[in-house]
Structure 1
Amino acid sequence: MANEQGSRSGSGESLESGVTDDASGSGVTDRSSVAGENEWPQAAARARLHFVSGKGGTGKTTVAAALALALAADGKKVLLVETEGRQGIAQVFDIAPLPPTDTRIATAEGGGEVSALAIDIEHALLEYLDMFYNLGFAGRAMKRIGAIDFVTTVAPGLRDVLLTGKIKERIIHTDKQGNRVYDAVVVDAPPTGRIGNFLDVTQAMADLAKTGPIRNQSEGVVRLLHSEETIIHLVTLLEAMPIQETIEAIDELRGKNLNLGSLVINRVSAPHLPAEVIDEIAEGRIDAGRVEDSLTAAGLKLTDADLAGLLTETIEHATRLQAQQIAKAQLDEVELPTLELPSLGDGVDLGSIYELANLLQKAGA
């Protein structure tokens, strides 16, 4: 699970929000629906297709997995989709690598189910050729001579058309009775640096075909991605590079008229100091004698070395909190509903994914 950290709450911790309740600006962001802190935006509540993106290392796969579990509560069925070929979902759930077909991987509160799909480009292209052109034999021949990788490399737009087309196929998939198989689909999407191009299949489609099945399929995908059924959530950290990429992605996605959901701020350090003393302590202004007296009064006697270590840790903690406050001020300007998830010191395991899902449920997901 390298570079993928989710979050879980400790005792008494809860989601915190820095929501700006402002209805102005882009018409695709449901800011006016956010009545208070920790509330899932109404646009996200209406959506069935959720894309989760973020700069690499921010924990987007973990957040996507937790969101799938949250949406599957109360007996619902959710599909969690991977698009990058990393088998990140399998790592998060500690299971064998996923095949290119829907596979049930977890149960949720209330009897819900989460299935997963790791989209394989080769498999998707073979399906596509067979389904739309009745050219399954040609696809198999391409596979034998190694031409599939060549085709998807020289025509990168085709790769995104295939991925988004497969996602559309799963969201509209019905059973023999005509009922939708999945109540929601959550996509562990490409990172913020690529999410705009990935979702902008309009341009990819125009570059590939003027008529025919590819164009028709792509136009259907475009309608889905720009409809109320689709929402995009962004995961970030309170650090300079992830924040910059997130802000750029928000501007790009708004420019493409795509619907934005929640801004998930991951790995937030819980404040163990009063807000009014954070700046002072971060600058190293701390009364060592007073701290020592307080510890002694509580029955704790530290050596000089231990006391010095404690003071150093306190200053470092205050410095982190101060940096978070500065970074958070930048994100407040983007005017998106915001969820803060606490830092997870012990790493990610399956239990922490369920805890994070519980937090998202409480927020309204």
Structure 2
Amino acid sequence: MSSTALHVVTGKGGTGKTTVAVALALALAGRGQRVLVCEVEGRQGIAQLLDVAPLPYEERRVASGLDGGEVFALAIDAESALLEYLDMFYRLGRAGKALDKFGVIDFATTIAPGVRDVLLTGKVYEIARRRGEKKDTGPQYDAIVIDAPPTGRITRFLNVSTEVAGLAKVGPIRRQSDAVTAMMRSGSTRVHLVTVLEEMPVQETLDGIADLESAELPVGHVIVNLVRGGLLDAATAAAVTDGTLDAAAVGAVLESAGLDATAGATLVAEGQGHLERQALQAAQRALLTDSPAQTAELPLLDGVDLGSLLDLAGRLREQGVA
């Protein structure tokens, strides 16, 4: 029987992690396929991107996939997950809700962050195990995408069995964490790291790859986001670099066109800055190329709407991420 493919998307803040997670969900949703994209940080980033109402603690259809599938979304919060967990394993029902009113649930998930992660990932685990309407139809979702915590916390978030080892050696929480860890390490799971071509995000990505491999968690693609395309051809770039194309030369061209010649200095400075950024991108790209993970690239966009998300989805599919 087929299993649900799990794609975990992480990345340093500001790299566009949520945008990539939604685009990946759109890419994975083929004809007749159902994909769920989950967020676990309470930011409602998915709802904002897709311009829909804030997501509740239930699965909601939010978009059509790249070629006709369905994309559902879910915002998972630890408090709701714990209430569901208490009812599922201990049949507490209303008693669990009473604990919530007294602040016990918030207290438990705050002092034991490992338990919080078990609850968040445990909800994904339960959905992944859920069958379709007929017993022989396999999982309800063909794939699940998690908009996960940042790179610096991703290994602890996924490696929940180790994180709760000192808190629960037996019982339902321990069994749940072991089952979640087994799912995260399975052949149907991939952890994708989103970065931009800047020094700090690239270094954090490389450190994240090493941490994931050390914890035996499966690394997927490094998705390089917000890539700036080159604006100058080779000849123009060489002329700006060696000074052949200077402010005076540019100013003369502007003047001949009836424009302000003094803008020549500004244009040359912007050209030099652009070439410096391109050189920085090339240097950081080389570091990623030397890493063990496959890479994919997405361009810098003027804005993000459903059309541009579908464009990114197509690019992810073309590059083998989906």
- TM-score normalised by L of structure 2: 0.91
Please, which of 22, 26, 33 is the counterpart of residue 65 of structure 1?
22
Distance 1:231 1:90 in 2: 24
Amino acid at match of 1:208: L
Residue 204 (structure 1) aligned with residue 160 (structure 2)? no
Distance 1:207 1:284 in 2: 64
1:188: how far off? 0.3
Q: 1:58 to 1:134 in 2, by over 3 A?
A: same
Q: Deviations over 1:117-155 (max 9, x none)?
A: 000211100010110111223311211111111110111
Distance 1:343 1:204 in 2: 37
1:306: how far off? 3.1
Q: Deviations over 1:27-53 (max 9, x none)?
A: xxxxxxxxxxxxxxxxxxx97100000
8 Å contact 1:80–1:116 — kept in the other structure? yes
Residue 190 (structure 1) aligned with residue 149 (structure 2)? yes
Please, which of 205, 224, 235 is the counterpart of residue 183 of structure 2?
224
Amino acid at match of 1:197: R
Please, which of 302, 316, 320 is the counterpart of residue 360 of structure 1?
316
Distance 1:171 1:184 in 2: 8
Which stretches in structure 1 are left out of the alignment for 5+ residues? 1-45
Please, which of 86, 99, 102 is the counterpart of residue 43 of structure 2?
86
Q: 1:250 to 1:199 in 2, by over 3 A?
A: same
SS in 2 for 1:138: helix
Match of 2:227 in 1: 268
Match of 2:110 in 1: 153
Please, which of 273, 285, 296 is the counterpart of residue 316 of structure 1?
273
Match of 2:98 in 1: 141
1:350: how far off? 2.3
Distance 1:152 1:105 in 2: 29
Amino acid at match of 2:305: D
1:82: how far off? 0.3
Distance 1:82 1:283 in 2: 49
Q: Deviations over 1:49-69 (max 9, x none)?
A: 000000011000000000000
- Pairing 1:217-256 to 2, within 5 Å after superposition: 217-256=176-215
8 Å contact 1:75–1:109 — kept in the other structure? no
Q: Deviations over 1:231-278 (max 9, x none)?
A: 000000111211121111111001011111110111111012245775
SS in 2 for 1:227: coil
Distance 1:130 1:173 in 2: 17
Please, which of 138, 160, 165 is the counterpart of residue 122 of structure 2?
165
1:157: how far off? 0.6
SS in 2 for 1:219: helix
Which stretches in structure 2 are left out of the alignment for 5+ residues? none
Match of 1:339 in 2: 296
RMSD: 2.2
- Pairing 1:273-288 to 2, within 5 Å after superposition: 273-274=232-233, 278=237, 281=240, 286-288=245-247
Q: Deviations over 1:69-105 (max 9, x none)?
A: 0000222100000010111111111111000000000
Distance 1:317 1:109 in 2: 34
1:313: how far off? 2.0
- Pairing 1:98-137 to 2, within 5 Å after superposition: 98-137=55-94
Distance 1:331 1:302 in 2: 43
SS in 1 for 2:74: strand
Residue 50 (structure 1) aligned with residue 10 (structure 2)? no
Please, which of 66, 76, 79 is the counterpart of residue 33 of structure 2?
76
Q: 1:238 to 1:136 in 2, by over 3 A?
A: same
8 Å contact 1:75–1:110 — kept in the other structure? no
Identity of paired residues, percent? 51
Match of 2:306 in 1: 350
Q: 1:340 to 1:294 in 2, by over 3 A?
A: farther
8 Å contact 1:74–1:111 — kept in the other structure? yes
8 Å contact 2:76–2:120 — kept in the other structure? yes
8 Å contact 1:62–1:92 — kept in the other structure? yes
